[in-house]
Structure 1
């Protein structure tokens, strides 16, 4: 398997739009501390809600944008074409945050979605001036969010955090291998994403 094939696989598997679903998957099914009063049916309902709202619907609308010529590629490489996909993501993240925040769940669930909202807003603002690696931004934010959650709730998830950080590094490297970004765009994404995750210290 070539380096480019591996890089493409990582870029698809860890696309920034998938992180809310990954976050809820980890919280709902891998740590009992956050699901003591949530039955299995409710877990799946919550996960499906997040997956549809933050992944399926935004991707479906991206296909519509492509069909109408608003974006020239589903990868949205051109900075000028990123506004509408990012705005769509922001609207769906905000809507899902509102729905989840109304449920009797620990604040950590709302934190995952509020972080997604903040990242989308930052991405829209930054995109006005220059292109940034959204893959790196999302991966770094997810990594720092895990650090914050483990610190706030005293979780023993060191191995998980190490794996996530390794994946973040590999993902950042994959964007360079594929020549999708300049090094500065990747590094900026990592820095902004990593710092953004720490706002959870004030919310949890």
Structure 2
């Protein structure tokens, strides 16, 4: 996104509480990737509009996005999954500190396994947010489908990956395979026979998928 445009949009974002600024500082210090201000505010607006009763998040990190989604719709029940030990502990602490442990349940485990368990339990969610290992996005989406309630939506973050996915000359050896996987995921997603998907250049790229009627 153009820097001038980005600065303009950030300047016109809603006011944030001190706890939000504290979490953002924590993430920056610990080098934990969280949604950027424009991206998280877009997600929150989706939550306000859709008013999901139950939300499933794949990738808790330090609990930032789960807490912001809860802020957007306090009546939502949120289940969030985190595999990393340290981030799981941070998320637990942050959720407890803000007295949200009664509405946000955090599961410590590999999402590829947890999603199967949730499906076996017959769980259903009105909104599923995918924001974990990018190389597993396609598998996360496949495992999420049985969990999606009627009229639900699946939101995927980072689908433009800093603009690299649409750069035909991108050849960075460290990220090349990752970019290729995200490109493949995007192509698979927009051509999925059961879903209509829109990819938006918001934040690091957000895909919104809804079931075809």
What interval of TM-score do these two structures reach, taking the shorter chain for normalisation? 0.3 to 0.5
Give the TM-score taking structure 2 as reference length. 0.32
Give the TM-score taking structure 1 as reference length. 0.33
Q: Specify which structure has the higher proportion of helix.
A: 1
Higher relative contact order (CA 8 A, sep 6+): 1
Q: Specify which structure has the higher proportion of strand.
A: 2
